[in-house]
Amino acid sequence: MGKYIDLTASNFEATLADGVSLVDFWAPWCGPCRMIAPIVEELAGDYEGKANVCKVNTDESKILLLNLVSVLFQLFCSSKMVKW
């Protein structure tokens, strides 16, 4: 299994600036978030070197949520949200 990237306000823009990134917005108290955590970790391994697989702890990084739509997952390509 690969290692996902923990996103914070300080590394968010730089991490998503180039290429494709999958961002998992999660919270420690969220049951469904904890259920899919192993899948996110598996994706990090499967896409290592091809895409960034990232996680945002919404309890710790609330400032990021002020600028984004509240979603469970979001796909980014070169810092731009992919509409799907």
pLDDT per residue rounded down to tens, the chain (84 residues): 568 999 988 888 898 887 888 989 899 999 999 999 999 999 999 999 999 999 999 888 877 766 665 555 666 766 677 765
Specify the CATH number for the domain of residue 20: 3.40.30.10
Q: Is 49 left (phi over 0), alpha (psi -120 to 50) or beta?
A: left
Give the pLDDT of residue 69: 53
Domain count of the fold of the chain = 1
What range does the domain containing 16 cover?
Answer: 5-81
Token pair belonging to 21 = 């990134």
Give the pLDDT of residue 67: 61
Give the pLDDT of residue 73: 60
Q: Is 83 left (phi over 0), alpha (psi -120 to 50) or beta?
A: beta
Annotated catalytic residue, options 33, 43, 44, 53: 33
Select from 66, 46, 47 the least CA-distant residue to 56.
66
Give the pLDDT of residue 51: 92
Residue 30 appears among annotated catalytic residues? yes
Annotated catalytic residue, options 20, 30, 64, 75: 30
**pTM (two decimals):** 0.73
Residue 33 appears among annotated catalytic residues? yes
